[in-house]
Amino acid sequence: MSPRPKVGLELTEILEAAAELSDQFGMQEVTLANLAKKLGIRPPSLYNHFDGLDGLRKKLAIYGIERLYDELAQAAIGVAGDEAVMTISKAYVNFVRKHPGIYEATFMAPDMSDQEVQLAGSKVVELTVRVLQAYRLEGDTALHAVRGLRSILHGFSSLEKSGGFKMALDLNESLEIIIKAFIQGIQES
């Protein structure tokens, strides 16, 4: 028996359902047909909220970036300096662990240069720049450091997700060592 149709779905409900699909099965399974089935609606009803699969991917990318931002912002409350860098780094990796599909969605907007996608991403960059202000990094130097930290966290998360860390070493300890090395590097720059 198919689920009862839902009347008056809000975009947030649709994106939450798409996020659940992506986390459970991966982004390749987030299709209009699968999403409509999960929601108990007909696929054409989704066009009331976005323009096809590309529109869904854009909205889901923004949703994912905003969720990541929320996690990082929460982690940054009440901490500064080395502790802030460490807490947002752990929050980033933990977000990817809990929401691998949503994280994957953050890279799957059809046009990453889209103004709405850029605006969502800029909040994450601005937050990270604020966290790094304790190291007196300014302008381009601060942005280079943000790129460096993001590269570390994305690389670590991607390798972990794909099973690239097979050694019997604690992954959280490895992450802490890597972030401490990053912090030492920016303190010396």
What average pLDDT does the segment 136-141 reach? 93
- Encoding tokens for residue 55? 């529109």
Closest CA to 28 of 109, 96, 101, 111: 101
pLDDT in tens, 160-174: 999 899 888 999 999
What average pLDDT does the segment 76-104 reach? 97
Q: Name the pLDDT band for 189 (thresholds 50, 70, 90).
A: confident
pLDDT in tens, 97-116: 999 999 999 998 888 889 99
Domain 57-188's class?
A: mainly alpha
Q: What pLDDT is recorded for position 7?
A: 52
Can you spell out the DSSP letters for 35-101?
A: HHHHHTS-GGGGGGTSSHHHHHHHHHHHHHHHHHHHHHHHHHTT--HHHHHHHHHHHHHHHHHH-HH
Q: What pLDDT is recorded for position 2?
A: 40
Q: Name the pLDDT band for 3 (thresholds 50, 70, 90).
A: very low
Residue extents of the structural domains in the chain: 57-188
pTM of this prediction exceeds 0.85: yes
Q: Which residue has the higher pLDDT, 72 or 168?
A: 72
3-class secondary-structure state, position 21: helix
pLDDT at 32 over 80: yes
Q: How many Cβ atoms from other residues are within 10 Å of residue 96's Cβ?
A: 21
Q: What pLDDT is recorded for position 110?
A: 84
Q: What pLDDT is recorded for position 8?
A: 67
Mean pLDDT for the chain?
93
